[in-house]
């Protein structure tokens, strides 16, 4: 039986997944790659490290699948969005890529909005305001601060598309990932040449833009030898990690929303028409489904906040889990569960790396609010988990305000693995949540796109209907739902109260005054 390979270039590592056309996952493997943080708020990675982790992951997944692995009929790609890979005319990488969570470009965002004629005009052109994590402001930052690099730029690629270049020799991207550059006319699914012109960005730098299930090239002999595959395997457009994850969750029709908690947190809703928030409080982007779009709210440090608290306060659980085949996060959540819902008035703002939605504030920082001598480590742990979920619910509220309702919210990522957190999400969202049979995320969605590109299915919704089903549902507990609704209102008052202080705190962190 033919197999399909999905490769997901994540923030901490690259995941490879091999599956059959019925959705049966034969094997997965992940290889890590490092990040660079040369200054506070800066986040970079070396594209060569991505290639090395992709090679390692694919080699491992093929070995684990063994005799079931071949023949591989098609490859799909997914990856972290917004990152900028700068190449010269010979495809040589000019500097480390600036990542989605890099916060250095506030001045360039203001420059972009001014060049477009204001925020409303920019949203009219590309369906989104300027965010520090997006690709366009990174291009302007390099041009301003690294003119020697800028002079050599001839191509700009997104992270997963650098892998495509190494796999096929072709420069291409898909419309879902391109939506996060701030340079795509999202409504018409093509590069926005008027904005490129206003910003002085050469349109020839941008790769060919395709639909997610469209074949973009074939595996070269050199790449095939490195991966241990056969040359000539087609590689489809793929998708940005959130759109690919939505495909892997079956969020390909109206009425279903996903809530995914990884390093970031994402609330994702399918839309049959392009629909924008007038203030840009959620993203509007092209979906990986042909002729469809999506609304997306992003919390920059969702699972990232939980990892922070694990590293700072979770040493007992980390130690207890070692050698016991236990997850330290599960142990931490068990401790958190000993504190009451609402953490007795303790709130946590999960803005550890600035925030994107619904506040769009690169200066925002994390905070515990309401701390008293009564609070214990259990309260702190619970407050962090609740704060992450409150922030996710903020995004869900904006999407609902746009008239997008859903019969269920499908959970995925780290926030879906623990039964306690699944129930807390149902209680805070105030709606039924569900798990599906596939929990492999964007790599699985990339493999589904490969299936469609190879002709195993006619379209993405048909492929999802054949491979994805709900396996568990949880309803909110009425008393806790009512309690959390009150706590949510208080949570929403905290950011406006602190917003004016965040820039001052950021200045102090940089060693400045004033």
Provide the 8-state DSSP code for 477.
Answer: P
Catalytic hit among 49, 241, 337, 361: 241
pLDDT at 479: 96
The CB density around residue 222, as the number of other CB atoms within 10 Å, is 12
Mean pLDDT across the stretch 5-21?
Answer: 96
Residue 362: band (very low, low, confident or very high) from pLDDT cuts 50, 70, 90: confident
Q: Which residues pair with 369 in a beta bridge?
A: 347
Q: How many CA atoms lie within 13 A of 422 on its CB side?
A: 19
pLDDT at 159: 98
pLDDT at 408: 87
Provide the 8-state DSSP code for 180.
Answer: G
CA separation (Å) from 425 to 19, 295, 304, 399, 499?
30, 20, 17, 17, 26
Q: Alpha-carbon torsion 264, 270, 273, 279, what sign?
A: negative
pLDDT of residue 146 exceeding 90: yes
Q: Which candidate, 293, 298, 282, 45, places its Cα nearest to that of 184? A: 293
The 10s digit of each residue's pLDDT in 211-222 is 999 999 999 999
Q: How far apart are CA 148 and CA 429, in angstroms?
A: 49
- Three-class DSSP category at 414: helix
pLDDT at 279: 81
pLDDT of residue 513 exceeding 50: no
pLDDT of residue 376 exceeding 80: yes
pLDDT of residue 120 exceeding 70: yes
pLDDT of residue 378 exceeding 70: yes
Tokens describing residue 123: 């949203």
Mean pLDDT across the stretch 133-153?
Answer: 97
Mean pLDDT across the stretch 431-453?
Answer: 93
Q: What mean pLDDT, rounded, does the chain reach? A: 94
The answer to whether residue 327 is catalytic is: no
Mean pLDDT across the stretch 65-82?
Answer: 94
Mean pLDDT across the stretch 180-204?
Answer: 98
Share of the chain above pLDDT 90, in %: 84
Nearest 5°: the CA angle 32, 328, 310 is 75
Contact 286, 189 (CB under 8 A): yes
pLDDT at 512: 60
Q: How far apart are CA 50 and CA 12, in angstroms?
A: 10
Nearest 5°: the CA angle 266, 362, 240 is 35
pLDDT of residue 514 exceeding 80: no
The 10s digit of each residue's pLDDT in 452-498 is 999 999 999 999 999 999 999 999 999 999 999 999 999 999 999 99
pLDDT of residue 510 exceeding 80: no
Between 224 and 275, whose confidence is greater? 224
Long-range contacts of 453-458 (CB under 8 A, 24+ apart): 453/74, 453/76, 453/213, 453/214, 453/215, 453/234, 453/236, 453/237, 454/2, 454/4, 454/73, 454/74, 454/234, 454/236, 456/2, 456/4, 456/21, 456/73, 457/21
Contact 371, 513 (CB under 8 A): no
Q: Would strands 433-436 and 408-413 be described as parallel, antiparallel, or unpaired?
A: parallel
Q: How far apart are CA 221 and CA 227, in angstroms?
A: 10
Q: How far apart are CA 105 and CA 135, in angstroms?
A: 10
Q: How far apart are CA 447 and CA 456, in angstroms?
A: 11
């Amino acid at each position: 039986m033919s197999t399909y390979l999905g490769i997901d270039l994540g923030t901490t590592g690259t995941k490879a997944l091999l599956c059959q056309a019925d959705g049966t996952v034969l094997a997965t493997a992940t290889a890590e790659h490092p990040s660079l943080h040369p200054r506070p708020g800066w986040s970079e990675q070396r594209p060569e490290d991505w290639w090395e982790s992709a090679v390692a992951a694919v080699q491992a997944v093929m070995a684990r699948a063994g005799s079931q692995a071949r023949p591989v009929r098609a490859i799909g790609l997914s990856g972290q969005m917004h990152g900028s890979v700068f190449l010269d005319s010979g495809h040589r990488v000019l500097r480390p890529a600036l990542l989605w969570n890099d916060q250095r470009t506030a001045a360039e965002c203001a420059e972009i909005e001014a060049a477009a004629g204001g925020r409303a005009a920019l949203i009219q052109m590309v369906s989104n305001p300027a965010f520090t994590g997006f690709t366009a402001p990174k291009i302007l930052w390099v041009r301003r601060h690294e003119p020697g690099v800028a002079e050599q730029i001839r191509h700009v690629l997104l992270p997963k598309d650098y892998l495509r270049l190494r796999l096929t020799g072709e420069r291409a991207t898909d419309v879902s990932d391109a939506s996060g550059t701030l340079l795509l006319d999202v409504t018409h699914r093509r590069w926005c040449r008027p904005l490129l012109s206003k910003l002085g960005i050469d349109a020839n730098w941008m790769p060919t833009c395709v639909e997610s299930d469209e074949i973009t090239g074939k595996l070269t002999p050199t790449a095939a030898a490195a991966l241990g595959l056969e040359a000539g395997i087609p590689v489809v457009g793929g998708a940005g990690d959130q759109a690919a994850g939505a495909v892997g969750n079956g969020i390909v029709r109206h009425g279903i929303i996903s809530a995914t908690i990884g390093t970031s947190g994402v609330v994702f809703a399918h839309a049959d028409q392009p629909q924008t928030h007038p203030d840009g409080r959620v993203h509007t982007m092209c979906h990986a489904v042909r002729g469809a779009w999506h609304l997306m709210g992003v919390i920059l440090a969702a699972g990232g906040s939980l990892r922070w608290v694990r590293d700072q306060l979770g040493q007992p659980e980390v130690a207890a889990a070692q050698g016991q085949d236990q997850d330290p996060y599960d142990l931490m959540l068990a401790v958190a569960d000993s504190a009451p819902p609402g953490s007795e008035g303790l709130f946590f703002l999960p803005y550890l790396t600035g925030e994107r939605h619904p506040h769009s504030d690169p200066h925002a920082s994390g905070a515990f609010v309401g701390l008293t001598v009564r609070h214990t480590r259990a309260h702190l742990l619970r407050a962090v988990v609740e704060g992450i979920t409150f922030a996710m619910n903020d995004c869900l509220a904006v999407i609902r305000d746009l008239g997008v309702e859903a019969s269920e919210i499908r959970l995925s990522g780290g926030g879906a693995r623990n039964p306690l957190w699944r129930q807390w999400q149902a209680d805070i969202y105030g709606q039924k949540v569900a798990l599906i049979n596939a929990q492999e995320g964007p790599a699985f969605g990339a493999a589904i796109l490969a299936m469609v590109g190879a002709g195993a299915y006619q379209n993405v919704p048909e492929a999802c209907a054949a491979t994805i089903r709900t396996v568990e549902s949880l309803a909110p507990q009425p008393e806790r739902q009512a309690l959390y609704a009150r706590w949510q209102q208080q949570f929403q008052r905290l950011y406006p109260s602190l917003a004016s202080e965040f820039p001052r705190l950021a200045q102090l962190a940089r060693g400045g005054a004033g």
